[in-house]
A = this chain, B = another copy of it.
Amino acid sequence: MTSENGGGSPTDGADDPPDTEGSDGTDPDGKAGGSDPDDAIAPNRNALWARALVDELAAAGVERVVFAPGSRSTPLVVAAARHPDLALLSHLDERSAGFFALGIGRRTGTPAALVCTSGTAAANFHPAVIEANQARVPLVVCTADRPPELRDSGANQTIDQEKLYGDAVRWYRDLPEPEATPRKLRRLRVDAARAVGTATGTPAGPVHLNVPFSKPLEPVPVPGDVPEDLADRDPGAVHGREGPFVERHANPPAGDAGASEVADLVETADRGLIVTGPADAPPEGFPALVDLARATGFPLLADPLSGVRFGSHVDDAPVVGGYDGFLDPALTGGWPAPEVVLRVGASPTSKPLRKYLARAADRQVVVDPAGGWREAEFAATHHVTADPDALARSVLAEADLSDDEAAAVDSDWRDRWLSAERAHWATVEEARGAGVGSADPTGPGGDFGGDPFEGAVLAAVVEAAPDPSTVFVSNSMPVRDLDRFARPRAVDLTVLGNRGASGIDGIVSTALGCGHATEDPLTLVTGDLAFYHDMNGLLALGRLDVEATVVVVDNDGGGIFHMLPIEEFDPPFTEAFRTPHGLDFEPTADLYDLSFRRTDPGDFEAAYRDAVDGKGSTVLSVEFDAAGSHRTREAIQERVVERIRDDGA
């Protein structure tokens, strides 16, 4: 927050409009124009304006207003506080507030309104706005601003907020200055409806309303500011309607364009794949696409963030989750290529999968409801703008797959994938069960290098997490380890991450925003750097009453760099890349009044179950040696590939 503002009465601000110069704003019991202010439409134009805006946001579906305290945003905050259907959520650090609001939209698909005062407060939202844009998360940003005459004047806490987020928002509008006229109020109500409509459109994303206010910012009566007959002249403009000012209905793209061609591709292919990348918000799975996988027998490669890796369909659909571990060119080089690949969602987390898809298929169909081209190997041969599930239904109807479930599939092809899948998970289970971590190279874990590996944490979490619950993972290694070590399961897990821009910023807050938005128990699995980056976000636990189990996979900074060739160049590797920080996060327990528990990798699963069963929030820290963990990770992969080769695949 940037709670910067001048003191004194509301009428001596640099930005007072001349017409309020004479009002006595300091007396809340003052009379507006001689009449009782309680009878007045609103004490002043700012209050009327903010109420109309906030009312319409709520009518359009917004349920939560996240803000960081400041002065210029006072009319908006007061209006939100007085609205019976809005939860007003106060953070202190705008960057954390931004990601907290992002988490609400991420988990639910309903945007939070995100409010700040003027100045750099708004710039602190920028990372969350970019993530919302790229991950298609609805978000309505309302930045209070100084009035136009103060912009570029040297006035205090005044920056250029116009188009502050550039092309990262779906819609931007610099609202006019508040005016108590029917025309302006109608446009304002329409703008609020449009803001929510655009944020929740296809694709969903952030919108930005810049909202200038002159003083007085408080709901003090300003005689004559709001004409007494305004509501008589246009009740709709002043009080809105029962329900939203404009009832919105938006249809995503529909129709069958492309369906016949895709049906033909599917029907004639012996070897096909369906790939579900990270889902847009909220993740709702792709039931028809799963049906298509069942009907064709095409392996369904499910990113852990796709909404498809977990769920009851896993029991009877050919869901594959181990690809990140077995798609080794040394192995797949001997495999026949798929004839067709259907791709939905964002670009998959798994680099081995992306590389495999770049090399593999003659026909790759990218399906995106918003017409996005989310495929960075430039291997797509077909592009269909359609809801993936609607397209799958059309394909199921058009393709001749009904009589024999496996009619379209080469069963060797399917078996090859399912057998590789089994080999992967069997090996992972061996590694987990063999007491990796005994540090004895001749012991049972010796086959895997003897070092505990971070992936075991992710494997354990998806096994032990409550059903249903929400699991949020940070970028860098946790999401990769999730991808490789989290076995598909028939449970109701909502697994989320910030894969839009894949930053390590704002992770704690995004997760806690998800937790605030549902009744689900929440687990966050984060690396130590992401945890550190957004420690301020922990404030929401107590302040906004969120409960979470936070698992910190602590390798003292930057384990991911052990995967990169820069490791060979030291210096500058250790100092400039591995980034050891030596931080012990235990003091966060006292700072934020949470339980902090340190556990050995070997005891992690039991400690995690305890934490989840207990009341209140726990930070569970598990220390790893990044280099050792990486060695074990590689050893497991080698073992998987060997095993599949031994199986003759």
Residues of A within 8 A of B (CB): 1-10, 12, 14, 25-26, 28, 67, 69, 71, 74, 77-78, 81-82, 88, 90, 92-95, 119-121, 123-124, 126-127, 129-131, 134, 149-150, 152-160, 163-164, 166-168, 216-220, 346-347, 351, 354-355, 358, 372-378, 475-476, 480, 499, 501-506, 529, 532-533, 535-536, 539, 542-543, 557-558, 560-561, 563-566, 568-569, 571-572, 575-579, 581-591
Contacts and interface: CB of A to CB of B under 8 A. Distances in A.
A506 B156 CA distance: 17
A153 B378 CA distance: 9
A582 B590 CA distance: 12
25 contacts: A2-B475, A2-B505, A3-B504, A4-B503, A6-B351, A7-B351, A7-B560, A9-B565, A10-B564, A14-B354, A78-B572, A81-B572, A81-B575, A90-B576, A92-B529, A92-B557, A92-B579, A120-B127, A120-B130, A123-B127, A156-B347, A156-B502, A160-B168, A539-B581, A587-B587
A277 B131 CA distance: 39
B539 A90 contact: no
Contacts of A589: 587
Contacts of A167: 160
Nearest to A118: B501
Output the residue of A539, A557, A561 with the most chain B CB within 10 A. Answer: A561
Given A123-B130, A535-B535, A590-B587, A69 B558 contact: yes
Nearest to A562: B7
A152 B347 CA distance: 12
A8 B630 CA distance: 12
- Prevailing SS type, chain A contact patch: loop
A568 B217 CA distance: 13
Nearest to A134: B159
A216 B568 CA distance: 13
B2 A502 contact: yes
B565 A10 contact: yes
A626 to B, nearest CB: 12
A120 B124 contact: no
A576 B576 CA distance: 42
A3 B93 contact: no
A69 to B, nearest CB: 4
A448 B360 CA distance: 81
Q: Which 5 A-B pairs have the closest CB atoms?
A: A154-B374, A7-B563, A587-B587, A155-B376, A120-B503
A532 B476 contact: no
B1 A533 contact: yes
A334 to B, nearest CB: 18
Contacts of A78: 566, 569, 572, 576
Contact of A576 (B69, B163, B583): B69
B377 A5 contact: no
A535 B536 contact: yes
Contacts of A93: 505, 532-533
B90 A564 contact: no
A127 B116 CA distance: 14
Contact of A566 (B217, B503, B585): B217
A120 B510 CA distance: 14
Output the residue of A3, A216, A347 with the most chain B CB within 10 A. Answer: A3
A586 B587 CA distance: 9
A557 B324 CA distance: 48
A532 B376 CA distance: 40
B533 A153 contact: no
A584 B591 contact: yes
A123 B127 CA distance: 5
Contacts of A7: 351, 480, 560, 563-564
Contact of A26 (B6, B88, B558, B565): B565
Contacts of A501: 2, 119-120, 157-159
